[in-house]
Structure 1
Amino acid sequence: MEYMTIIVMILFGIAYACLRERDRSRALACKALATSMAVTAGLYGAVQSQDTAGWLIVAGLVLCMIADVVLEIRMVGGIGIFGTGHLCFIAAFWLKSPPTPGTLLLFLAIYVAVIGMFRHEIAGLDELKVPAFLYMAVLGFMVSMAVTSGWPTGGREGAFLMAGAFLFLASDCMIAWRTVKDIRQNAYGAILLILYYAAVYLIGSASWI
């Protein structure tokens, strides 16, 4: 099953990239369908485990799938939905292992590092400034929770959760950089898609692959 969903995700991702400039409606449908493969992987794990954490991960992935579309129509709305998805991931990781002092320290390190990376661009964010700061806080805490819950979980599940969270962070930082620097190279966009789809699939499939 995992190979089939991975292949279908890749095909829909390629279709999105090819259609983005020519047929926006179909492109957005393909973008959401690609993420739906991560939702499918998450559903498979949740049905197998029958635990609340698994269903929270599914909920987070569904919100990411919705945000994929909304983000390209109304950025602030998409950011809000993605943030809500991360809150679902945080709740799932919390159930696996409650936060520790290390969680807070890692969160602060991530938050300060990202703010530092974009320190010269903050002034130009205008109406996106508050949503960006709030989203970064939620994303940073999600990553720190993935690490401090994934580490004691161990095995493939723990490794996949941590890797997925960090790939999400990398993807979102690249999106932010592309936005503030107005980068339009196709290669940059392809890297973004690879990072994002890898992130959601790793999180979705962590409990069973």
Structure 2
Amino acid sequence: MTTTSWVLLGLTFAFALTDWWATWVGRVSVRYVAKPATLVFLIGVAVTLDPVDSKIRTAMVIGLLLSLAGDVFLMLDEKWFVAGLVSFLLGHIAYIVGLQLAPTSLGWSLVGLAVVVACVAVVGRSVVQTVRKTQPEMVGPVIAYLVVISAMVVSAFGTADPWAIAGASLFYASDATLAWNRFVDQRRFGPLAVMVTYHLGQIGLVAWLV
């Protein structure tokens, strides 16, 4: 980590905390600034740190940029939800590319596969079943997204790196909470849980680059 990276990381946490507070109290106007700003500064961290592999960093930065686009789309009207979904789906593909460029452990990949199979069985299946009943036109996009993010998590486990595994797992938890809260059962703490795990997950993936 460079000095600039540390400063930008501090700003990332400052805006993330602001967004968490705004999410909990319902300050939408504050979120319009804090939510994208968190990713902007985190992208700055990724760009300015000293990575183990510059090619991996490039793929991960592309994923972060697509995540930023997804964040913006999801703050807009409902009609932009699919655009946000597609942005994050493409972002996860970029993450998969970056994670697959690193040395891979078969054993840890199998552990990751077991984790995602369990999560799909417990949460994913219920989400897809509910979507099929209430919004059948969304079944295809939801399943496609579920497959891609699951592949990203397996790829992260395959690196055998604690930062990558923690980051991807938190991202998985964030999207699972978002899907459950949106399609199955809304909970008061849901939006906050989504953002806390999302931001920490993204930070973990960036930390893996060092």
Same fold flag (TM > 0.5): yes
Structure 1 residue 19: Cα displacement:
4.9
Q: Does 1:12 align with 2:49?
A: no
Could you tell me which of 149, 170, 182 is aligned with 1:139? 149
Take 2:157 and 2:108, find their aligned partners in 1: how far apart are those partners? 9
Task: Sort the Cα spacing of 1:204 and 1:28 in 2 relative to 1 into closer, same or farther, 3 A.
Answer: same
Q: Does 1:129 align with 2:132?
A: no
1:168-183 equivalences under 5 Å are 168-183=171-186
Q: Deviations over 1:67-86 (max 9, x none)?
A: 11112331111111101111
Contact 1:168/1:195, CA 8 A, preserved across alignment? yes
SS in 2 for 1:64: helix
Contact 1:86/1:139, CA 8 A, preserved across alignment? yes
Q: Deviations over 1:127-177 (max 9, x none)?
A: 22111111111101111111112x1xxxxxx21111101111111111111
Contact 2:112/2:154, CA 8 A, preserved across alignment? yes
Residue aligning to 1:38: 42
Task: Sort the Cα spacing of 1:76 and 1:51 in 2 relative to 1 into closer, same or farther, 3 A.
Answer: same
SS in 1 for 2:209: coil
Q: Which runs of 5+ in 2 are unaligned?
A: none
Q: Which runs of 5+ in 1 are unaligned?
A: 152-157
Q: Which amino acid aligns with 1:135?
A: Y
Task: Sort the Cα spacing of 1:88 and 1:121 in 2 relative to 1 into closer, same or farther, 3 A.
Answer: closer
Residue aligning to 1:155: none
Q: Which amino acid aligns with 1:190?
A: L
> Normalising to structure 1: TM-score of the pair?
0.81
Take 2:104 and 2:51, find their aligned partners in 1: how far apart are those partners? 23
Could you tell me which of 88, 98, 102 is aligned with 1:82? 88
Cα-Cα RMSD:
2.6
Q: Which amino acid aligns with 1:89?
A: Y
SS in 1 for 2:183: helix
Contact 1:72/1:78, CA 8 A, preserved across alignment? no
Could you tell me which of 186, 199, 207 is aligned with 2:201? 199
Residue correspondences, number: 198
